[in-house]
Amino acid sequence: MRISIKQNIKTINKKHNLTDNNINTELIRKAIHCGIPFAIWSLPATQTVEKAFCKPNNLIKTYATKNIDKHKGFVFAPFQICKHLPIYIIPFGDNIENINFNGEHSGDSHLGKKEQFTSNIDYSKNEHINQVNDFLSVFNKTNIKKAVLSRNKWLSKYNLNQMPNLFNALNKSYPNAFVYQVYIPNAGYWVGATPEILFSSNNGSATTVSLAGTQPFKPINKIVWNHKEQIEQELVTEHIRNVLAEFNITDADETGPDTAKAGQLVHIKTQIDFSKEKIYNRIGQFIEKLHPTPAVCGLPVKESLELILETEGYDREYYTGYLGTFNHNGKTDLFVNLRCLQAFYNGVVLYAGGGITVESNPEKEWEETKMKIQTLEQILERL
């Protein structure tokens, strides 16, 4: 059977105004069916929906972070680059009406592989608490100051057909987050609303953010951060300062730490602004040193990463990676991939994690992951 979506997309464009914030579900369904990569997103404080579709043959794949400087597009990067997890870039410039897919297409097998997840999905409370205790035991024997332990949760009552509606709901509910849905063959279909900037730049200025510590938002109570949460966040800031020093950036201006609201959660945030002069044309190298920050990995980075890979028991894939626009109309906006899920034909996987330090309480660490997972789960329940 030969499939061509060019005429179908023209028909959709006539029937539906694709400049509207509510992106057409049928367009997304056809793109996924035909293996057409796309990214649909809304920057914080805008709620204006932007999109990029590209021909499958134009999708860029690289295993070197420094290579992103060569391109203009939507970047989708994993937690750890490896053979099956490259950085993908959906280039800007492909006109959706000119995208054409001819030939047989059996769909993306990456969207229906529940069987490969069943042994890893839905970690119990006891298992997560045991892993926190394992981290604490290692801390006592090593120089690791912090490591981020994550888990995932499988929900079979939802599937990828509901994801366009989830995107629209997230865009309304979390106006200060980077809200997105991304589909890339072999990487899957991801949807999220992340509060954390990894790197942004406009003209000659650049910004990164240290974000850590989590509490539920309670409008009638004053937010008080305990010592563990303050140290956890300071370790992220320390890592960023070290990276800036490595690139001889001496003009950084720190704002915070302050309390920042993200949906029904609050975090400790320090914003760091600096000149882009020292990293001009080598932003990829800078990001390679910056990511993964202790907000998603730990400190020291190498040792904490080894502990995470040995303990978590599942592949994060693109969770805690980064994503966003690179050199889009002269601006770059990259975010850490948090508060996200991966969608399949037969279910969805939600992800969440928390920073573990020597002061961590295992029960409270479990509760923190529950709060973070509920960010998306509560929205799903209302669809």
280 in any annotated domain: yes
Residue pLDDT, tens place only, 17-46:
344 445 678 888 888 888 899 999 999 998
58 in any annotated domain: no
204 in any annotated domain: yes
267 in any annotated domain: yes
67 in any annotated domain: no
Query: Do 111 and 292 meet the contact criterion of CB atoms below 8 Å apart?
Result: no
Give the count of domains, the chain: 1
CA distance 332 to 337: 16
320 in any annotated domain: yes
First vs last Cα of the chain: how many Å apart?
35
Residue pLDDT, tens place only, 211-270:
999 999 888 778 999 999 999 999 999 999 999 999 999 999 999 999 999 988 999 999
What amino acid is encoded at 53 in this protein? F
Per-residue pLDDT band at 79 (split at 50, 70, 90)? very high
Domain of 244, in residue numbers: 111-381
Residue pLDDT, tens place only, 86-125:
999 999 987 776 665 454 455 555 676 554 443 344 458 8
CA distance 261 to 269: 9
What amino acid is encoded at 60 in this protein? I
Structure tokens belonging to residue 239: 């890592």
CA distance 150 to 259: 23
For residue 232, the domain's CATH number is 3.60.120.10
80 in any annotated domain: no
Per-residue pLDDT band at 168 (split at 50, 70, 90)? very high
pTM, entire model: 0.91
The owner of tokens 């809200």 is: 179
86 in any annotated domain: no
pLDDT at 172: 92
